[in-house]
Structure 1
Amino acid sequence: MRETYNFKEKYKQFVIILLPILVTQLGLFAMNFLDTMMSGKLSPSDLAGVAIGSSLWVPINTGLSGILLAITPIVAQLIGAKQQAKVSFSVIQGLYLSVVISTVIILAGYLSLDFILDNLNLETSVRIIAKNYLVALSFGIFPLFAYTVLRCFIDALGLTRVSMFITLLSLPINFVFNYLFIFGAFGFPKLGGIGAGVASAITYWSIFIISMFIVHKKAPFNQFKIFQSIYNVSFAAWKEILKIGVPIGFAIFFETSIFAAVTILMSTFDTITIASHQAALNFASFLYMIPLSISMALTIVVGFEIGAGRYKDARHYSYMGIAFGVLLSLFSGFVILLLRPQIAGIYTNNPDVLLLTQQFLIYAIFFQLSDAIAAPIQGALRGYKDVNVTLIIALVSYWIIGLPLGYILGNYTSFGAFGYWIGLISGLAAGAICLSARLYFIQQKYKSLRLKAS
């Protein structure tokens, strides 16, 4: 990371940071994508079981690991302010906190999973697959959350290509173990959708071990001596992380959990509808990695500029990121429109699921534009360490506007299952509008601070 002086330099630095993040996010999501796709090739029940399991796991994972994303702006601002000596302490405290969060998730799952699944009115085969998929995956929760902290540290230095390298190494691991455990190849047990959970847990351990080795041994990370000092638990440091991270995590949770809630509410529909909905939603979520990556890149560059007191540069990066998001969303929407049959064919060979998935994909196109605006703005606001209002916006937009509207349209109109998607689109659009207003307010605030300083 370095100071930039014109649009060309900013564009170059932003792209250098963004592209590896994009590859990394696509790679990480590819694990869930592979789970869903490969399970769907076995049977609709396996696809539906993994769909339900993923719908429960993804919002918990993204929401609670989102708390640990606070490490990125904390480290980025320390680097921008040339306070490198404080970085190691912050990272280690993040690792301690990751262990606590992981423990809470596992205990909560042990106590509540059966109750949740018993109340979803699932077919017996789907329920068994969903439960055991999550049980198998839970063995990788500790390393996954610890990896999140290390990745935030790596990315905050602007060296996002290293995270990309780790993720690219993990993909063949995930694919191989999916193949072995889902289909029972080469004498391994044929576990179906449950095998996808086993493969994910193995992959989580792999990326954690690889990242720990790199941080400890390779330059420039080793100069921070992350693992060479033993620090006591600091509740003051935890408070700083939680003060920033909890609003980030819950904002992400409110956004991702609405999709899980819709999938759960749709469990009253038949297995074909659930499978089709999940296939389309999985692909739409895959494309969401584009604006999400822009969001993460903006957190790094905006945090760096704010830490250095260059408020005008932070504003310019924000505009650049939003423009990137809108242009790429238009392209991805065109891809969905043009290639719907081929996209649906990735997930299933069942003709009924194939046809219905194509219909759901039409609605997925409208997700793209709202996400392209909302996600980059969230990233920019995290760079400013402005996170509390984003939390409120997420709660209102998704749970007070989007979900109730979807429920009404889905159950009391002729839209049926598609009504839930219309509700989701409405919630995302409302969030994008409110976040735009918040970013404008924050930028005007910092503009005033810059004028007073001068």
Structure 2
Amino acid sequence: MTETWRRHWRESRRETRDLLRLALPICGAQLAQSGMSVADVIMAGRASARDLAAVSVGSSLWLPLMLFMTGTLMGLTPIVAQLLGARRDTAIRPFVHQALWLALLLGGLAAVLLVWGVAPVFRLMAVPGPVAELSGDYLAMVALGMPGVAIYQALRAFSDGMNHTRPTLWISLVGLAANIPCNYLLIYGGDGLVALFGDALPAPLATLPALGAQGCGIATAIAMWVMCLTMIGFTRRSKVFAPIQLWLTWHRPQREQLAELLHVGIPIGVAIFVEVTLFTLIALLIASFGEITVAAHQVALNYTSILFMLPLSLAMALTVRVGNTLGGGAPRRARFVAANGALVGLLVALLNDLLLWLTAGPVVALYTPNPAVQELALSLIYLALLYQVSDSLQVTLAGALRGYKDTRIIMAITLISYWLAGLGSGYLLAGGHWPGIPALGVYGYWIGMIAGLSVAAVLLGWRLWRISREWCHDAPAMAGD
């Protein structure tokens, strides 16, 4: 028994090392991209409470669209990972080209929706008129970058599936480096430059207009295209992708390969969209509670989302690890890889709880000087301590299932967990519609998030146990097992 445990411990250490080798660069990339959102919120908040509310409400619309595109294009990652594990390198390039065609389509549609489709949503959710108008200007600028970010995400899915996650880290840092100075210049205009460099600044620069939330949208679009063009250049010139010959010839849209890509990717996109929609609809529903509540909710959600990047990165790396292992014909090993990944995700959740407890106060003060916003945001962050375990488990379990290309069940579980258990209970608690419980306001929605994430973790764990067992029973024992 002792020797068996030692062997399992050695295997777990080895697998954890391989998982973290993939996950940490992904986490750095996710943090850099989240850093853009943090910079947007902080800089807009320093401009005015209205600019912060406009960016917050606008972000709750364009981020779900972008994440739906990202999720759909993530269908490329397990396809590439399994092809790589099976040593079928020549089959990878056609799938990447289909993903790029799909990215162009999705990016164009998202841009159209952001320009012409948001006004009815603002009216439906009773967003105050001045905030809605300013948020519409912000979204119109962000729309310009949606095709670029879609192409970037397709190439990123390819790179991750090839076990090369470091390029996305460096390119995300390039995007952050473009976003922050553009934000400063466009949000604050000449007054901001004078405050930074003094009165000696040339007159043309000193008189630049301060665009506020609209300038923030322009900076976001610029960063999106910078990342897109940098990723294109890297995949053209890097030697690590040379065997794939990605840009040597071009494949026109192919029905069969597009169908497989959509078969795997659309459920991922829908699942991510539904998950994010839980947070999006909450942000819109609390818009009528006033600017203080909207701002505090956004600050709390933004900060907790930063810490969520590590379990999310583990999930993305776990998709690659499971996919590679299955492609190599080792289903029993893949089951171990998935279980070990879930355990690592649980440990990360406990680490996040500790970080939230120790750093919440100083971090919230960085977001806003408003004491009312700070107090409410802190109370929401402490409530978020309760869902770190379920949130980390559900995302890592979903990542493992994507490695199996078992994506439709994730979509179904997400719909049940987030929209029914999460949003449904949150609405009842927030509005005082639950018998015997007074209206809890924004706290009700956060309690609903805890319920939805917990239900998702349980159901996804059951599905992973079942699908991994089926693969082990259906496939003959392989040497890799």
User: In which range does the TM-score fall when normalised by the shorter chain?
Assistant: over 0.9
Where does 1:208-227 land on structure 2 (aligned, <5 Å)?
208-227=228-247
Q: CA deviation at 1:376?
A: 0.5
Do the aligned residues in 2 keep the contact of 1:64 with 1:250 (CA within 8 Å)?
no
Amino acid of the structure 1 residue aligned with 2:262: L
Report the Cα distance in structure 2 between the residues aligned to 1:323 and 1:453, rounded to whole angstroms. 25
Is residue 68 of structure 1 aligned with residue 73 of structure 2?
A: yes
1:276-316 deviations in Å (ceiling 9; x for gaps): 11110111112111111011000011000011111122122
Report the Cα distance in structure 2 between the residues aligned to 1:88 and 1:189, rounded to whole angstroms. 46
Is residue 179 of structure 1 aligned with residue 184 of structure 2?
A: yes
SS at match of 2:211: coil
Q: Aligned pair in 2 of structure 1 residues 369, 7: CA closer, same or farther (>3 Å)?
A: closer
Is residue 407 of structure 1 aligned with residue 427 of structure 2?
A: yes
Matched residue, 2:375: 355
1:387 pairs, out of 398, 407, 419, with 407
RMSD: 1.5
Where does 1:24-423 land on structure 2 (aligned, <5 Å)?
24-184=29-189, 185-186=192-193, 187=205, 188-412=208-432, 413-423=438-448
Amino acid of the structure 1 residue aligned with 2:450: I
1:12 pairs, out of 17, 21, 34, with 17
Amino acid of the structure 2 residue aligned with 1:227: W
1:165-191 deviations in Å (ceiling 9; x for gaps): 111222111111111111114434311
Amino acid of the structure 2 residue aligned with 1:133: Y
Amino acid of the structure 2 residue aligned with 1:201: A
Is residue 425 of structure 1 aligned with residue 450 of structure 2?
A: yes
Q: CA deviation at 1:320?
A: 2.0
Report the Cα distance in structure 2 between the residues aligned to 1:402 and 1:52, rounded to whole angstroms. 20
Bigger shift: residues 156-165 or 292-301: 156-165
SS at match of 1:121: coil
Q: CA deviation at 1:196?
A: 1.5
Amino acid of the structure 2 residue aligned with 1:46: D
Q: CA deviation at 1:123?
A: 2.6
Do the aligned residues in 2 keep the contact of 1:182 with 1:192 (CA within 8 Å)?
yes
Bigger shift: residues 121-130 or 259-268: 121-130
Q: CA deviation at 1:452?
A: 6.7
Report the Cα distance in structure 2 between the residues aligned to 1:31 and 1:430, rounded to whole angstroms. 31
Report the Cα distance in structure 2 between the residues aligned to 1:46 and 1:320, rounded to whole angstroms. 44
Report the Cα distance in structure 2 between the residues aligned to 1:30 and 1:169, rounded to whole angstroms. 12
Q: CA deviation at 1:200?
A: 0.9
Report the Cα distance in structure 1 between the residues aligned to 2:153 and 2:172, rounded to whole angstroms. 12
Do the aligned residues in 2 keep the contact of 1:50 with 1:133 (CA within 8 Å)?
yes
SS at match of 2:247: coil
SS at match of 1:182: helix
Do the aligned residues in 1 keep the contact of 2:69 with 2:103 (CA within 8 Å)?
no
1:354-407 deviations in Å (ceiling 9; x for gaps): 111111111121231111100001000000000111110000000111111100
Aligned residues: 450
Report the Cα distance in structure 2 between the residues aligned to 1:143 and 1:222, rounded to whole angstroms. 23
Amino acid of the structure 2 residue aligned with 1:422: I
Do the aligned residues in 1 keep the contact of 2:99 with 2:154 (CA within 8 Å)?
yes
Q: CA deviation at 1:453?
A: 7.1
Report the Cα distance in structure 1 between the residues aligned to 2:316 and 2:19, rounded to whole angstroms. 11
Report the Cα distance in structure 1 between the residues aligned to 2:272 and 2:280, rounded to whole angstroms. 12
Report the Cα distance in structure 1 between the residues aligned to 2:478 and 2:305, rounded to whole angstroms. 43
Do the aligned residues in 2 keep the contact of 1:284 with 1:367 (CA within 8 Å)?
no
Report the Cα distance in structure 2 between the residues aligned to 1:359 and 1:287, rounded to whole angstroms. 17
Q: Aligned pair in 2 of structure 1 residues 356, 442: CA closer, same or farther (>3 Å)?
A: same
Do the aligned residues in 2 keep the contact of 1:138 with 1:201 (CA within 8 Å)?
yes
1:214-237 deviations in Å (ceiling 9; x for gaps): 101111113312122121211211
Do the aligned residues in 2 keep the contact of 1:251 with 1:390 (CA within 8 Å)?
yes
Structure 1, gaps ≥5 residues long: none
Q: Aligned pair in 2 of structure 1 residues 193, 107: CA closer, same or farther (>3 Å)?
A: closer
Name the % identity. 33
